Amino acid sequence: MTEEERRALRAMMGSFATGVTVVAARQGPLLAGMTANAISSISIDPPLLMASVNRSSETHAAIVGSHSFAVSVLSAEQQQLAECFALPNTADKLQRFCDASWHEAETGSPILDGALAYFDCRLNASHPVGTHTIFIGEIVASGHEERDDPLLWFASRYRRLAPA
Ligand SMILES: Cc1cc2nc3c(=O)[nH]c(=O)nc-3n(C[C@H](O)[C@H](O)[C@H](O)COP(=O)(O)O)c2cc1C
């Protein structure tokens, strides 16, 4: 595939509007987290979701190592966190976890305070596909806040909800 074809396909994929999450996991004493929108509910009973994570990311290593991950759904107020967690991994990012305040539920994976919703997952299955791994998580704890609007991603830009 040429660079031009790659760019065109990325733009086409970008016309699918999504919410924005941070997928995070423990890596020993450190915390790894990444902005992610390739997230989908799989089923309610059993409670399963999937996240597609680049194998080169630090978060991938942390999920494999800890056998768990947490998905925090970002509110419109959390765009700065989305920007930080989308930065390429550095030792500083791992040390500081974007200076985010967080808590844990069942698995010990970090959940961002102020998230619209969270899903704390135990790893159920991993499917390597191309450059990514599709992680299937069994949701062992979850919660949500109804007061805030979500942060959205469309055509390579963060967006906010507008009334239809
Ligand atoms: C809106 C948005 C959505 C993203 N979604 C994903 C995703 O679903 N999977 C993925 O592997 N990378 C995704 N990325 C890229 C990662 O956030 C980025 O590669 C990050 O640097 C990985 O961090 P890490 O290496 O510290 O884990 C997304 C980036 C943005 C801005």
Cα(36) to ligand 1 centroid in Å equals: 5
Predicted model pTM = 0.95
Quick one: pLDDT band at residue 56, thresholds 50, 70, 90? very high
Report the nearest-CA residue for atom 9 of ligand 1. 53
pLDDT in tens, 67-108: 999 999 999 999 999 999 999 877 778 789 999 999 999 999
The overall average pLDDT reported for the chain is: 95
Query: Residue 104 carries which DSSP code?
Result: -
Backbone phi, then psi, for 116, in 5-degree steps? -65, -35
Closest ligand 1 atom, residue 53 Cα: 11
pLDDT, residue 153, reads 97
Question: Per the omega criterion (within 30 degrees of 0), is the bond before 163 cis?
Answer: no
How many whole angstroms separate alpha carbon 160 and alpha carbon 158?
Answer: 7
Report the nearest-CA residue for atom 26 of ligand 1. 89
Cα(88) to ligand 1 centroid in Å equals: 8
pLDDT in tens, 122-131: 999 999 999 9
Report the nearest-CA residue for atom 28 of ligand 1. 36
Answer whether 71 contacts ligand 1 (Cβ < 6 A).
no
Cβ neighbors of 127 (< 8 A, separation 6 or more) are 133, 134, 136
Cα(23) to ligand 1 centroid in Å equals: 9
Pairwise pLDDT comparison (60 vs 91), residue with the higher score: 60
**Ordered domains of the chain (ranges, CATH):** 16-155 (2.30.110.10)
Quick one: pLDDT band at residue 147, thresholds 50, 70, 90? confident
- Ligand 1 pocket test, pick from 15, 39, 54 with the greatest ligand atom count within 8 Å of Cβ, gives 54
